[in-house]
Amino acid sequence: MKADLSPRMKTCLYGLMCVLLVPFVFPTWWMVTSSVKPISDIFAFPPQLVPQNYDWTTYTKVFELQPFVQQYWNSAYIAAVVTIGTMIVSSMAGYAFARIRFPFANTIFMIVLLGLLIPSEVTIVPLFQMFLQAGMVNTHWPLILVPIFGAPSVFSTFVMRQFFVTLPTELEEAARVDGLGRFKIFRKIALPLAKPALASVAIFTFLHSWNLFLEPIVFLSSAEKFTLPQALTQYTDAYGGPMWNIQLAAATLTALPVLIVFIIAQKQFVEGLAHTGLKG
Amino acid sequence: MAEVTLSNVRKSYGAVDIIHGVDLEIRDGEFVVLVGPSGCGKSTLLRMVAGLETITGGDIKIGGRVVNDLDPKDRDIAMVFQNYALYPHMTVATNMGFSLEHRGTSKAEITERVKWAADILGLSHLLDRYPRQLSGGQRQRVAMGRAIVRDPQVFLFDEPLSNLDAKLRVVMRGEIKGLHQKLKTTTVYVTHDQVEAMTMADKIVVLSGGKVEQIGAPLDLYDRPANQFVAGFIGSPAMNFLSGTITPQGFAAPGIVLPLPDATLGSLQRKAIYGIRPEHFVLDDEGVPAEIVLVEPMGSETQVTMKLGETLVTGVFRERVSLSPGATIRVRPDLASIHIFAAEGGQRLN
């Protein structure tokens, strides 16, 4: 039921939304407009909200200074593999915790959840040692394996488990009577019904992997293996100072796919948030 | 089609016994209703027959084969659940053909069987719809279609009409009964509604506290309940019970003496329960006095709450009578329909 607001309430509400627009939209606006400004205009006073002079060469320089296409591909395929891998692992683990009775299931689930309480900064050094011994440093394996089997996947497992717990048990019992075994019940009944939860897991996992920063700078050392967040830090001049407009052009290109995905999948994104119980 | 036999079937959760050794024989093609109050174990018993619950002891046979350790899929049964349990992401046709698909049936045969079942149940025009696009009654029919499409040996129904409104329940009751008469498949049906049990069953099993109280044809249970529990459970409005003592003069209840159905009972001289169904009171000037408390005209009959001695009882009169609260009428119990139960244990004495 829609509540009818009085004109005064409407004015207040729109006013509040305009104020909130500033912290939410301004950084993106500044990033996009500054990416086509000469550096001097970026720091001009009073600030130029709309560029006076356009310098489109910043976008070509993004690709000239670094193997940006390769880095784009690195980020894209790592995020895709991590997303698919996490969806598989978390849906199966979540289903097992929700539906299969085995000894100490709840205790094991609690222990698994504890993984969420450990900051990634704490585990990064032992993980580095492990991957060093396995000969996987300066490869993409750590960026794929850690999220799929580590703490990020624990969160997804939690989301999936909470979903599967709510599925009516009669559906599975009907499937048992219909002749399905445990795995087929999971694949044919539970999984297709878990699409909303899987969508939220996919969105969050993709974003997490796409934005991952600490792990790439620890595990990767060659430019052609870099992912986008790490590559952004490399647009510096001879003195290590940031080349602001080029860096912001690269940042715009980095944010672009996420923005497009968000605009297309806005509904699923909001539903996903509702599903996880997270606040934006 | 097959007979189903339960021999000393028991179920415990830890130290708590839920089903206390049930023996039951269901003949080939019979429609048996398990009825009882909530928590009596009727659904558990059905789920044990289905293989959805393990059994702690005893044997369950379907078609002469012990199925204690068989998976539900290997028992050749089909089950209709209380909330229908239709797969929400599949169309009506896919829902109905799903079990056949997983048993290696050819596509042509699946289509044929689904069409056959849909024709029987009047679902032919709904085959491409999803469960969410159906009404409660249609969903119930799809659930039945899913069960019959496989031509199983036994149908199991777990309170299938509980989610429907009263009017639709009556319609679906008739449809299920009609379906059974058409297919003649052995059916076990669970309900807590004694009207459903009475109208549908060939045989009723009354359960209470995980024990069988009585097994019999609906009218046998109505006419000769084995104990006070069955007498009170079967029949609506429920049977009236008056506590008192059997004496040579009659049944002495608080404030009144009622005639006994059998003079030889008078020699028992013991505490007992006098049971009389509401429709077995007859208006008679020679009867015992009863003070009217409440009059409820129902059209076809009049339901009267009255004080018999010190006990409130319900009477149902077919004749159009002008009665008003506070007035005293005279009623006579129909002696051929009186039930006497032991005060302790509630077993039938006459």
Instruction: Quick: pLDDT tens for A40-57.
Output: 888 888 888 888 888 899
Q: What is the CA radius of gyration of chain A?
A: 23
Mean pLDDT of B145-156: 92
Angle between the N-to-C axes of helices A244-264 and A57-65, in degrees from 0 to 180, rounded to the nearest 10: 100
CATH dotted code for A32-276: 1.10.3720.10
Within 10 angstroms of residue B290's Cβ, the number of other Cβ atoms is 22
In a domain, B159, yes or no: yes
Per the DSSP assignment, residues forming a β-bridge with B5 are: B25, B61
- Tell whether the model's pLDDT for residue B48 goes beyond 90: yes
Helix, strand, coil: what percent of chain A each, to 5? 75, 0, 25
Q: How far apart are CA B323 and CA B14, in angstroms?
A: 56
Q: Band of the pLDDT at B175, cuts 50, 70, 90?
A: confident
Within 10 angstroms of residue B191's Cβ, the number of other Cβ atoms is 24
Mean pLDDT of B89-104: 92
Q: According to the model, what pLDDT value does residue B45 have?
A: 95
Q: Are residues B53 and B173 in the same domain?
A: yes
Q: According to the model, what pLDDT value does residue A272 have?
A: 65
Q: How far apart are CA A228 and CA A69, in angstroms?
A: 10
Are the beta carbons of A58 and A253 closer than 8 angstroms? no
Q: How far apart are CA A187 and CA A232, in angstroms?
A: 41
- Tell whether the model's pLDDT for residue B232 goes beyond 60: yes
Q: Are residues B207 and B300 in the same domain?
A: no
Identify the DSSP state of B299.
Answer: S
Q: How far apart are CA B333 and CA B302, in angstroms?
A: 17
Q: Are residues B17 and B157 in the same domain?
A: yes
- Smallest Cβ–Cβ distance between B52 and the set A176, A179, A189 belongs to A176
Sheet containing B154-158, strands listed edge to edge, beginning at the edge strand earlier in sequence: B77-80, B154-158, B186-191, B31-35, B203-208, B211-216
Percent of all residues in chain B with a pLDDT value above 70, rounded to a whole number = 99
Instruction: Quick: pLDDT tens for A53-100.
Output: 888 999 999 999 999 999 999 999 999 999 999 999 999 999 999 999
Contacts of B192 (CB under 8 A, 6+ apart): B35, B36, B37, B38, B42, B159, B162
In a domain, B347, yes or no: no
Q: Are residues B219 and B306 in the same domain?
A: no
Q: Band of the pLDDT at B112, cuts 50, 70, 90?
A: very high
- Which residues of chain A have a Cβ shorter than 8 Å from any chain B Cβ? 168, 170-171, 173-180, 184, 189, 192-193
Q: According to the model, what pLDDT value does residue A254 have?
A: 93
Domain boundary among B233, B266, B300: B233
Residue B146: phi and psi, rounded to 5, are -60, -30
- Tell whether the model's pLDDT for residue A273 goes beyond 70: no
Q: Are residues B53 and B107 in the same domain?
A: yes
Phi-psi sector, B22: left (phi>0), alpha (psi -120 to 50), beta: beta
Instruction: Quick: pLDDT tens for B273-289.
Output: 999 999 999 998 889 99
Q: How far apart are CA A226 and CA A66, in angstroms?
A: 10
Q: According to the model, what pLDDT value does residue A226 have?
A: 95
Q: Are residues B157 and B293 in the same domain?
A: no
Q: How far apart are CA A270 and CA B164, in angstroms?
A: 35
- Tell whether the model's pLDDT for residue B111 goes beyond 70: yes
In a domain, B350, yes or no: no
- Which residues of chain B have a Cβ shorter than 8 Å from any chain A Cβ? 50-52, 71-73, 77-79, 81-83, 85-89, 98-99, 102-103, 146
- Tell me which chain A residues have a C-beta less than 8 angstroms from the C-beta of B88: 193
Q: According to the model, what pLDDT value does residue B322 have?
A: 81
CATH number for position B322: 2.40.50.140
Helices (H), chain B: 42-50, 92-101, 107-121, 136-148, 166-183, 194-200, 218-223, 228-233
- Tell whether the model's pLDDT for residue B10 goes beyond 90: yes
Q: Which amino acid is at A153?
A: S
CATH number for position B177: 3.40.50.300
Q: How far apart are CA A116 and CA A170, in angstroms?
A: 32
Q: Are residues B187 and B267 in the same domain?
A: no
In a domain, B116, yes or no: yes
If 0-12 CB within 10 Å is exposed, 13-18 middle and 19+ buried, where does residue A106 land? exposed
Which of B307, B311, B315 has its CA nearest to residue B334? B315
Q: Are residues B119 and B69 in the same domain?
A: yes
Q: According to the model, what pLDDT value does residue B166 have?
A: 84
Q: Are residues B308 and B324 in the same domain?
A: yes
Spacing of C-alpha A196 from chain mean position: 17
Q: How far apart are CA A274 and CA A261, in angstroms?
A: 18
- In which element (H, E) is residue A95 found? helix A68-99
Q: How far apart are CA B40 and CA B18, in angstroms?
A: 8
- Tell whether the model's pLDDT for residue A104 goes beyond 70: yes
- Tell whether the model's pLDDT for residue A280 goes beyond 50: no
Q: Band of the pLDDT at B1, cuts 50, 70, 90?
A: low
Least confidently predicted of B33-37, B64-68, B73-77, B168-172: B168-172
- Tell whether the model's pLDDT for residue A17 goes beyond 70: yes
In a domain, B34, yes or no: yes
Q: Which amino acid is at B164?
A: L
Tokens of A23: 């912290």
Q: Are residues B226 and B246 in the same domain?
A: no
State the residue for tokens 């593999």: A81
Q: According to the model, what pLDDT value does residue A16 have?
A: 93
Domain boundary among B199, B218, B233: B233
Q: How far apart are CA A224 and CA A69, in angstroms?
A: 9
Domain boundary among B233, B263, B287: B233
Residues of the domain holding B8: 4-233
- Smallest Cβ–Cβ distance between A180 and the set B83, B85, B102 belongs to B102
- Tell whether the model's pLDDT for residue A276 goes beyond 70: no
Query: Taking CB atoms and an 8 Å cut-off, how many pairs form between chains A and B?
Result: 50
Contacts of B16 (CB under 8 A, 6+ apart): none
Q: Are residues B209 and B331 in the same domain?
A: no
B88/A193 touch (CB, cutoff 8 Å), yes or no: yes
Mean pLDDT of A114-121: 87
User: How many independent structural domains does chain B possess?
Assistant: 2
Mean pLDDT of B307-323: 89
Helices (H), A35-65: 39-42, 57-65
Q: Which amino acid is at B314?
A: T
- Tell whether the model's pLDDT for residue B143 goes beyond 80: yes
A179/B99 touch (CB, cutoff 8 Å), yes or no: yes
Q: Are residues B271 and B208 in the same domain?
A: no
Burial of B161-170, coded b for 16+ CB within 10 Å and e otherwise, reads beebeeeebe
- Tell whether the model's pLDDT for residue A238 goes beyond 90: no
Mean pLDDT of B197-210: 94
- Tell me which chain A residues have a C-beta less than 8 angstroms from the C-beta of B46: none
* pLDDT, chain B, mean: 91
In a domain, B349, yes or no: no
Predicted complex ipTM? 0.83
Tokens of A18: 């305009």
Instruction: Quick: pLDDT tens for B154-171.
Output: 999 999 888 888 888 888
Residue A250: phi and psi, rounded to 5, are -65, -40
In a domain, B348, yes or no: no
